[in-house]
Structure 1
Amino acid sequence: MGFFRNQLSNVVEWEEFRDDMIFWKWSNREIKKGSKLIIRSGQDAIFLNNGKIEGIFQEDGEYNIESEIIPFLSTLKGFKFGFNSGMRVEVLFVNTKEFIVKWGTQNPILIPTPQLPGGMPIRANGTFNFKVSDYVTLIDRIAGIKESYLIEDVKIRITSVLDQLLMKWITREGKDIFNLQANAFDISKGIREDLDMEILSSGMTIIGFQIMSFNYPQEIQDMITKTASHGMIGDLQKYQQVSITDAMASGKLQGSGTASDMAGMMMGMNLANEMMKNMNQGQSSQSGAGGGQAQSANSSSAQGGTKPNFCPNCGAKNEGANFCPNCGQKLG
């Protein structure tokens, strides 16, 4: 036993831990008598022998491999450490946390639309969430041939099919091409289900998929904004007046006299015309009502044979005479 007392004990642990690493394999080394296994929070340790799972250990802590681990391994429980060699196995450490990944379309997606024969070029961005769900499949499809696996590896796989899925779910059921954000939830749900099927075959699952925004070409975005502004104001002339006023107030409409002065004159003329139009309409309605009353008074005056109090020609006051004392107009 003195031979083992002089041997160095191995520590089996995730030596190269990174937050963006999905799994890491401890391999090509001997586990010797007195070795320790260290499992940290958020990790699972899987003992492998010839590519097959011997045991899975999920509780974090420090374990004596000979006394606390080997007795639970499926085919190695009868293994005894020899005097000349240790035990060769692989230990796969798996990150059990939920990963959140940002994504964005690499190129614009051309969505078919009758308004644009070549299609509407649209970009999108958001996040997706995934985690390891099936260790057997993970080892069979990925960990059996790789020493480690990163979030970036999953992201590359996801983004390679994302453009086709976005086109599929945007065009499905005739989604409004100019108001995609209103349908973002339904589009996201469909894409999540398709992506889940895509990576289930690798032992992982998509927990969530979110679309943060859709981005139109600048010309289309300007058109959408302007259309919304017209709808809010409701009158093109008022929209023009507001646009000129905003431009002058913000300093965007500048110049030494010519451009800005002409714009100011046009705006002033438009406003003056509107005021005159409103005044004329008000006077027309008042004169219509007043004319009716005067006509009625003159009619009753003529019928009664009385003289008018004022001359209809010059407006001079009359004291009951038959002729105007000022201009000679006949009054009776």
Structure 2
Amino acid sequence: MGFFKNQFADVVEWEEFRQDMIFWKWQEREIKRGSKLIIQMGQDAVFLRDGKIEGIFEKEGSYDIESQIVPFLSTLKGVKFGFNSGMRAEVLFVNTKTFVVKWGTKNAINIPTEQLPGGMPIRANGTFEFKVSDYVALIDKIAGIKQSYLVEDVKIRITAVLDQLLMKWISREGHDMFNLQANAGEIASGIREDLDMQVIDSGLSITNFTIMSFNYPKEIQDMITKNASHGMVSDLGKYQQIELTNGMASGKMQGGAASDMAGMMMGMNVAKEMMDNMNKNEKGKNQKDSDEQVQNVDPSGKMPNFCPNCGEKTTGSKFCPNCGQKLVP
């Protein structure tokens, strides 16, 4: 512990606070008797000595350092301020909020796929969230050598490995390369776990990772849209009904030739449906009659006395003389 004249501080606080700043270090200066520690909402104050944590203060407010802070410091308990001297200290102010960062691939990622020998060029974008989770690791790996640390510093670190992780998780077996959004949750979950392992040794934690969208080249997107349309309207009649309904609902077919054409098409479709139903019913009736005729034939092979179809008395012939019904199998 050293003491210096004319370098005393009245207030210890985060002097250069920014919303995108993860931590800021109060430089080693002398704290004179009666000085205050001010902690704002969303901040923690970590007292350090030789790079080691002396004490962590989390509750916002204004504190008298001599009476309310020093007695709780691990190795400085009992230290009293001299009348004209101060205590040398280093305080790390940490932003405790969860940071939300937007990300996006700068260049298309070429994902290997069987459908395209040259690979599928894909872009993606979304957000990730992180926060400080371990002060000891943060001080050991980052704060020990830096005066401050920004969200942009973390973003650069994350995006440096993001392309590789996207390729790893998109390329997993079972993912439809033409509908990656269906697997966006699974892909994002895997990437979050891998990113967390990348930064956990620095005292940070990736709390969430989301993929808002996957973007294909225009030619491939047009092909996906066309295939989806074909699948939705494989029934031509249904397609016509949808188009006509949409047209009438939007007011684009009110009156004129378009309206007449719409009515004619709908009428033709209704007539066709009625004919199909009639043919279906007639076919069913004929099949039923045929089945009944077969059932009316005497299975024993003997000649019946009366025709099972029209009731005419038989004459010994294999066929009914009145209606021609076959009388024996």
Written as runs of structure 1 = structure 2, the 5 A alignment for 1:201-220 is 201-216=201-216, 218-220=221-223
What secondary structure sits across from 2:172 in the alignment?
helix
TM-score of the pair, normalised by structure 2 = 0.68
Change (3 A) 1:119 1:68: same
Q: Distance in 2 between matches of 1:197 and 1:289?
A: 73
Q: Distance in 2 between matches of 1:283 and 1:39?
A: 89
Q: Distance in 2 between matches of 1:84 and 1:27?
A: 21
Q: Residue 52 of structure 2 aligns with which residue?
A: 53
The yes-or-no answer on 1:43 pairing with 2:43 is yes
CA shift for structure 1 position 220: 4.5
Contact 2:48 2:55 in 1 (8 A): no
CA shift for structure 1 position 267: 6.4
Written as runs of structure 1 = structure 2, the 5 A alignment for 1:98-177 is 98-177=98-177
Q: Distance in 2 between matches of 1:288 and 1:77?
A: 103
Q: Distance in 2 between matches of 1:132 and 1:290?
A: 83
Q: Distance in 2 between matches of 1:44 and 1:289?
A: 87
Contact 1:108 1:122 in 2 (8 A): yes
Change (3 A) 1:261 1:161: farther
The yes-or-no answer on 1:236 pairing with 2:235 is yes
Which 5+ residue runs of structure 1 have no aligned equivalent?
A: 1-6, 305-332
Q: Distance in 1 between matches of 2:282 and 2:53?
A: 99
Change (3 A) 1:279 1:39: same
Root mean square deviation of aligned Cα: 4.1
Q: Distance in 2 between matches of 1:45 and 1:202?
A: 18
Larger Rg: 1
> Structure 1, residues 27-46: CA drift from partner, whole Å, max 9, x if none?
25431121111234432212
Contact 2:55 2:72 in 1 (8 A): no
Contact 2:109 2:163 in 1 (8 A): yes
Residue type at the aligned position of 1:238? G
CA shift for structure 1 position 204: 0.8
Q: Distance in 2 between matches of 1:63 and 1:89?
A: 15
Q: Residue 248 of structure 1 aligns with which residue?
A: 247
> Structure 1, residues 104-123: CA drift from partner, whole Å, max 9, x if none?
44444332222233333444
Change (3 A) 1:135 1:72: same
Change (3 A) 1:224 1:154: farther
Q: Residue 14 of structure 1 aligns with which residue?
A: 14
Contact 2:8 2:29 in 1 (8 A): no
CA shift for structure 1 position 78: 7.1
Q: Distance in 1 between matches of 2:243 and 2:133?
A: 60
CA shift for structure 1 position 195: 0.4
Q: Distance in 1 between matches of 2:106 and 2:232?
A: 32
Contact 1:54 1:75 in 2 (8 A): no
Residue type at the aligned position of 1:183? N
CA shift for structure 1 position 130: 2.1
Residue type at the aligned position of 2:177? I
Change (3 A) 1:281 1:140: closer
Q: Distance in 2 between matches of 1:49 and 1:174?
A: 54
Change (3 A) 1:132 1:244: closer
Q: Distance in 2 between matches of 1:12 and 1:297?
A: 115
User: Residue 226 of structure 2: which of 220, 223, 226 is its match?
Assistant: 223
CA shift for structure 1 position 62: 3.0
Written as runs of structure 1 = structure 2, the 5 A alignment for 1:51-90 is 52-60=51-59, 61-74=61-74, 76=76, 81=81, 86-90=86-90
* Segment of structure 1 superposing worse, 75-84 or 59-68: 75-84
Q: Distance in 1 between matches of 2:279 and 2:121?
A: 52
Q: Distance in 1 between matches of 2:201 and 2:194?
A: 12
Q: Distance in 1 between matches of 2:72 and 2:169?
A: 48
Change (3 A) 1:109 1:44: same
Change (3 A) 1:220 1:106: farther
Contact 2:9 2:29 in 1 (8 A): no
> Structure 1, residues 301-328: CA drift from partner, whole Å, max 9, x if none?
x958xxxxxxxxxxxxxxxxxxxxxxxx
Q: What percentage of aligned pairs have identical amino acids?
A: 63
Change (3 A) 1:252 1:164: farther
Q: Distance in 1 between matches of 2:212 and 2:163?
A: 15
TM-score of the pair, normalised by structure 1 = 0.68
Residue type at the aligned position of 1:86? G
